[in-house]
A and B are shown apart, each in its own frame.
Chain A
């Protein structure tokens, strides 16, 4: 059997050569579904460590992008053996870069880390119209809607999306998190989201808190940071 700790370590060290070697050996062994579950969990744990190292300023953006690429390739290697495996699912997120904005790096990092944390993520891509969010929310009934935008102009589209969810009677059924470089508490309140973040790892922490917390309050939005505290107004 593969040394799972070694795999987790290789991923958290961003040592792709080592990680791919372990995964290829694993696939060649025709593993059981139980072993596949364990190896996926080990990969996810490696990504969680990557997120923690980003939080502690040991990793930076290029490292997160590299980690995302590493994880995507890891999944490719594992594909032949994971098709029947049920991995843990702690919640569902509908994700997209909002209308008018084509940036996807932050969104993709968030997606990768959220999936590693156990979320099922429905990624709508970039330049996503409010109505597309609405339709997807109706379809998959997520606990969380996550919107990304780098351009400040796209904050208007975030607000429009929140309004569209309200109009469709879906707003109170989901938590909404917004992310992007220029997102502040001020913009969060204006948009009507429940939380905001400027980093993918913090965003995932907030989402985890929401779905794993003792109680979920789908009440009036109060913009929160990852500790669940309301931030001071500007």
Chain B
């Protein structure tokens, strides 16, 4: 098999799996984030502030474990860019090997009308100066210039590492970063603007304004990404679109129907109409909303579950391709055979007839999330086991 065939084989393997075709092996996605730095010779700070070191980290990681695709190639935490603007939101502690991110609360509920009136103006004149303190200082223009250089350096690394993985390792990118990211407006409010507590209160106290904000943010950010789905998919990318669920975790099923589902339904309808696939990373649990997903046609959604019971998910939603399932609890603390036994159980019970991508059940970030020998044993087993 030529190298070029390996790239195509991997993409086909993912597509066949998502379409519930029986495949000769189960594809594997790495859901490893900062753990791979802890598995290297570098500290968190060393790798996060030096793109050459980060490149070595992710390349060594691939050469060691040989996943078919990656949720992160060292680009998730653009520390240098945000720090250049004075937004020290990533709190890195090399001694404790922890990276924390502050809750993001940048406007008060009374300001919803301003956001709704002109979101771009509001974000540039209110949200960003509050988020990045250097934008409020006298030398703001210079800070902005430095941050622009940092952003270009970050983009250059991003492009370089993707090209290396595609050309040298024949590993496709998991998602299309050019227009393929479809973040739900409620996620924007939750993750970037109002935080978990603020949004929880807004859902009851300012319901109509939250709904209006969702509508304007959808028009501004989601609709262009939906339009991009009319274009042909990237030949080196596995899935056409990507999104993450996090804000859903505070909602009741009824609230999900009011605040979340309408936009998501429009996204799914577009995926179905254009024959595209979307990968969803679902933090926390999502099965409380399973009824909404029951009628989604097969072959369009891949949901990476975190705290849901993946076996139950398979039963409740036989139309959805699931990813995940391998517990960090086992990878971090059990022995190799226990991990392999669990991996076998996952494949035997939910992967035999397609519709399952092997991966870890959380974003692997900390030292005790995994042991190297367990990961080697499991990735090797899954690569060679065909059920």
Contacts and interface: CB of A to CB of B under 8 A. Distances in A.
Interface stretch (B164-172, B194-202, B295-303, B371-379): B194-202
B328 to A, nearest CB: 6
Contact of B100 (A59, A101, A155, A156): A101
A60 interface: yes
A69 B201 contact: yes
A182 interface: yes
A62 B203 contact: yes
A186 interface: yes
B250 A156 contact: no
Contacts of B328: 152, 182
A94 interface: no
Interface in A170-209: 181-182, 184, 186-187, 190
A65 B362 contact: no
Interface string B250-264: 111001000000000
A182 B369 CA distance: 11
B329 A153 contact: no
B366 A65 contact: no
B365 interface: yes
A99 interface: yes
Contacts of A186: 329, 333
Contact of A100 (B93, B102, B204, B362): B93
A139 interface: no
Given A102-B100, A151-B365, A60 B252 contact: yes
Contacts of A14: 204
A57 interface: yes
Nearest to A69: B201
Most A CB atoms within 10 A — which of B329, B332, B334?
A: B329
A46 B243 CA distance: 38
Contact of B252 (A63, A102, A184): A63
Contacts of A69: 197, 201
B135 to A, nearest CB: 24
A156 B95 CA distance: 13
B97 interface: yes
A153 B255 contact: no
B367 interface: yes
A159 to B, nearest CB: 10
A153 B96 contact: yes
B249 A66 contact: no
Contacts of B97: 153
B197 A65 contact: yes
Contacts of B367: 153
B366 A66 contact: no
B158 interface: no
B307 interface: yes
A54 B250 CA distance: 12
A151 B367 CA distance: 11
Interface string B182-203: 0000000000000011011101
A182 B250 contact: no
A100 B307 CA distance: 22
B102 A102 contact: yes
Contacts of A154: 98
Chain A interface mostly: loop
Contact of A152 (B201, B249, B332): B332
B196 A65 contact: yes
B64 to A, nearest CB: 22
B288 interface: yes
Interface string B349-387: 000000000000010011111000000000000000000
Contacts of B250: 60-62, 65
Contacts of A151: 98, 100, 365-366
Nearest to B259: A62
A234 interface: yes
B365 A152 contact: yes
B368 A155 contact: yes
B237 to A, nearest CB: 30
Contacts of A57: 288
B91 interface: yes
A62 B186 CA distance: 13
B200 A62 contact: yes
Interface string A149-166: 001111110000000000
A99 B96 contact: yes
A154 B368 CA distance: 10
A105 interface: yes
A65 B332 CA distance: 32
B66 interface: no
Interface of A: 14, 57-63, 65-66, 69, 99-102, 105, 151-156, 181-182, 184, 186-187, 190, 234
Given A61-B251, A65-B250, A154-B98, 10 more contacts: A60-B250, A60-B252, A62-B255, A69-B201, A105-B196, A105-B197, A151-B98, A151-B366, A187-B329, A234-B329
16 contacts: A60-B250, A60-B252, A62-B252, A65-B197, A66-B201, A100-B96, A102-B100, A151-B366, A152-B332, A152-B366, A153-B365, A153-B366, A182-B307, A186-B333, A234-B327, A234-B334
Q: Which 3 A-B pairs have the closest CB atoms?
A: A153-B366, A65-B200, A62-B200
